[in-house]
Chain A
Amino acid sequence: MMKRLLGAAAALVLAGSIAGVAHAADKLKVGFIYLGPIGDLGWTYQHELGRQALVKELGDKIETTYLENVPEGPDSERAIEQLVRAGNKLIFTTSFGYMDPTLKVAKKYPNVHFEHATGYKRDKNMSTYSGRWYQGRYIQGQIAAKMSKAGVLGYIGSFPIPEVVSGINATMLGAQSINPNIKVKIIWVNTWFDPGKEADAAKALLDQGADIIMQHTDSPAAMQVAAERGKLAFGQDSEMIKFGPKAQLTSILDTWGPYYIARVKAELDGTWKSEDTWGGLDSKMFEMAPYTNMPDDVKKMAEETQAAITSGKLHPFKCPIVAQDGKEVECKGGDHLADGQILGMNFYVKGVDDKLPGK
């Protein structure tokens, strides 16, 4: 009986896969490399949501494949090349650490197009894309300053790379626009995802007198700690409200779907070309989760700031920017810092009471 069942199953699968192959022949193959397991929230999950949105929109014209949990070392070059060899013509590599491997494979296969998230190296068949998350951090800084009774924010940093540092600075500038004496305490956990470490950091920050938790890490552990202690917190990457229904103020939601759809459409039309996309609130590269657990006036302020940033009226890094040492930062972008200065940011703004690691 079991044997018959297995045989039947096998036949079915075989039939299915043959039909699939015949069908897929003229479809564009699109590949994705994921850093983590997909799970149900966080960085990789948001990319997976983007892929699903892509399939929903263009599923009849494309076939997508992903490789998950690909470490950022030498394995990633092989994983990318495996996707190329499987016939994928457009490949999204969704983490910073895939930059050099993507470039190497791109040089080897000039007829395949590559899209690398959050990096800065490009080639004629390799684009980059990223989000201006510092815009969201500025809004969060304003909310935090309004909501904090102690005037002390707790910030869980992942790695002291420019993206994270510019996030801290944008938060601080936003908060200072409300309360010039606001303080921030920072703990570097040296990981993107480690619920244990993140929870410990959140507890330590609360014990040190912070009453609002902000994070640049992936797990909802800090949100849970804040919720347990009756404090407030911001989510990261994903909607985390279910981990702190009374704690989450808002969250920066990575929404890659529109970008993925646009790029695949360009590929289908034959208009794809290498570009550097750094999308902000205006291009919906990310969104803010609903503003919750705050009075109406704070919510109104947040919405107004969001509208001002979206329309371009307000730039979080509006000059003059004063660095931690009291010196004014050279203003290379007219009335605000140039993109290059934000992308390579390795200084704190005035008022951050912490020493930047590695400086």
Chain B
Amino acid sequence: MQLVLEKRAERSRTIALVSPLIAIALTLITMSVLFAILGKNPITALGVYFIAPLTDGYSLQEIAVKATPLVMIAIGLSLCYLANAWNIGAEGQFLIGAVAGSWIAVTTQGTEAGHWVLPAMLVAGAVAGALYALIPALCRVRFGASEILTSLMLVYVADLLLDYLVRGPWRDPAGFNFPTTAEFDPVATVPVLIEGGRLHLGSIIALIVVAGAFVLLDRTIKGFEIRVVGVAPRAARFGGFNANQLVLLTFAVSGALAGLAGIIEVAGPIGHLQPGISPGYGFTAIIVAFLGRLNPIGILIAGLFLALTFIGGEQAQITMKIPLDVTKVFQGILLFYVLACDSLILYRFKLVFAARQVQSAAR
């Protein structure tokens, strides 16, 4: 007797809806066993991970702060991926956006510049991110170069450019030569929404982006084009959709969103430009995009959920002395189950009995 995966005739709609729930349930069961083995009470531990952060305003704010860049980047990436354009370099576009916006903050520092500074920074960040993303997109459209490789390699270029600027020309003159710019002026800082907290205007912008993406994909012809080009390239060609143009468009939009996320992060929670402004947001956002099934609302939920595991993981380290590695195992297990369960949308389990196997072997 053997268990095999058999392709379904068509996508199972039921499983598509239930699969994330099965995945979460399986994750919870696996984690409970793991906690028990570690000698921790599984109920308490899961409570610390998932419930405790949701019960006080401070943690809720922190979840939103953490999720903001992830959601913004992931929305852009989802447009690319839907259109079959593989932007892996959101991290670089994030950094370039941060650099471009910071340029305005640094040059206006200490001057009488008014309230136009922050909006100008945000626009600069978005434009720079878009232009930077267009490099790999143009290389693919014009020369057929793999955008996966070129976009990824440009991450390191952006990283080193930022590094050069904060060690050289933009270095804080009062900073003992350490690699950081001076703190941005108040007019160059993203305002916080609640006094004393860290929740900032960027989170609102992220929500607007989610809504915008939803409308784009669900209600406009461009959105329809993006989907068709990704799912059925031949049909799209017959329909007269220009796939190359869509590669350029989705890359530009996703670069703009990553760049915007970058400058918001720098002008918001960080407050100055320094190396290491991103703990890998551009890459984590790829996970968020797929966890959210390339759907704007899904991405919002996935981003918040991933942020929750970060915050919960910290609280588990503090209150229960559960090592950080467990949080990472936990995120890995979750992703594993989500992908495994998703395969059930297109496949189903089937028991194959020994008799048939013998038969086929005899043949």
Residue from the set B62, B319, B324 with the largest chain A CB neighbour count within 10 Å: B324
B58 and A120: CB pair below 8 A? no
Q: How far is the CA of A212 from the CA of B116 in the complex (A)?
A: 56
- Verify B36–A67 contact, CB threshold 8 A: no
CB neighbours (8 Å) of A6 from chain B are 36, 42
Indicate if A181 sits at the interface (CB-CB under 8 A): no
> Is B198 on the interface with A (CB-CB < 8 A)?
yes
A159 at the interface (CB under 8 A from B): yes
Q: Cα distance A343–B180 when bound, in Å?
A: 15
Q: Which residue of the partner chain, among B276, B311, B320, contacts A73 with CB atoms under 8 Å? A: B276
Given contacts A74-B270, A190-B163, contact A65 B314 (CB under 8 A): no
Residues of B within 8 A of A85 (CB): 58
In the complex, the answer to whether B276 meets A344 with C-beta atoms within 8 Å is: no
A273 to B343 CA separation, bound complex (whole angstroms): 60
Contacts of B274 in A (CB 8 A): 72, 97
Q: Is the CB of A17 within 8 A of B279?
A: no
Least CB distance from B349 to A in Å reads 25
Write the B252-284 contact mask toward A (1 if CB under 8 angstroms, else 0).
Answer: 000000000000010011111010111100000
A162-B178, A358-B167, A358-B168 known; A74+B318 contact, CB < 8 A: no
- In the bound complex, what is the Cα–Cα distance between A75 and B323 (angstroms)? 17
A275 to chain B, nearest CB (A): 18
A338 at the interface (CB under 8 A from B): no
CB-based nearest B residue for A13: B41
Tell me if A86 and B318 are in contact (CB < 8 A). Answer: yes
Of B65, B168, B196, B325, which contacts A108 at CB under 8 A? B196
Interface members, chain A 91-125 (any B CB < 8 Å): 96-97, 100, 104, 108, 120
Most A-side CB within 10 Å, residue of B164, B171, B314: B314
* Interface presence of B109 (CB below 8 A): no
Is A69 in contact with B324, judged by CB distance below 8 angstroms? yes
**Chain A interface residue count, Cβ-Cβ cutoff 8 angstroms:** 45
When chains A and B are docked, how far (Å) is the Cα of A357 from the Cα of B276?
Answer: 18
- Expressed in whole angstroms, the minimum distance between the Cβ of B49 and any Cβ of chain A is 14
Q: Are A74 and B265 in contact (CB under 8 A)?
A: yes
**Does B321 count as interface, using CB distance less than 8 angstroms?**
yes
| B41 and A14 contact, CB distance less than 8 A | yes
The yes or no answer to B176 lying at the interface (CB within 8 A) is yes
A76 to chain B, nearest CB (A): 10
CB distance from A82 to the nearest CB of B (A): 5
* Residues of chain A within 8 A of B265, CB atoms compared: 73-74
A100-B271 in contact given A37-B324, A71-B279, A75-B279 (Cβ < 8 Å): yes
Complexed CA–CA distance, A71 and B281 (Å): 12
- Of B42, B164, B276, B317, the residue contacting A67 (CB under 8 A) is B317
Q: A73-B279, A162-B178 given. 6 additional CB < 8 A pairs?
A: A31-B318, A67-B324, A74-B270, A81-B58, A100-B183, A357-B167
- B interface residues with partner A (beta carbon < 8 Å): 36, 39-44, 58, 62, 65-66, 163-164, 167-168, 171, 176-180, 183, 196, 198, 265, 268-272, 274, 276-279, 310-311, 314-315, 317-321, 323-325
27 CB-based A-B contacts, threshold 8 Å? A6-B36, A6-B42, A10-B36, A10-B41, A10-B42, A12-B39, A13-B40, A13-B41, A31-B318, A67-B324, A68-B317, A71-B276, A73-B276, A74-B65, A74-B269, A75-B279, A77-B198, A78-B65, A78-B66, A78-B311, A96-B178, A159-B179, A162-B177, A190-B163, A343-B176, A344-B177, A357-B167
Across the A-B interface, give the 6 residue pairs with the lowest CB-CB distance, nearest first.
A74-B269, A358-B167, A71-B279, A344-B176, A358-B168, A13-B41
Binding site for B on A (CB under 8 A): 6, 9-10, 12-14, 17, 31, 37, 65-69, 71-75, 77-79, 81-83, 85-86, 96-97, 100, 104, 108, 120, 159-162, 190, 343-346, 357-359
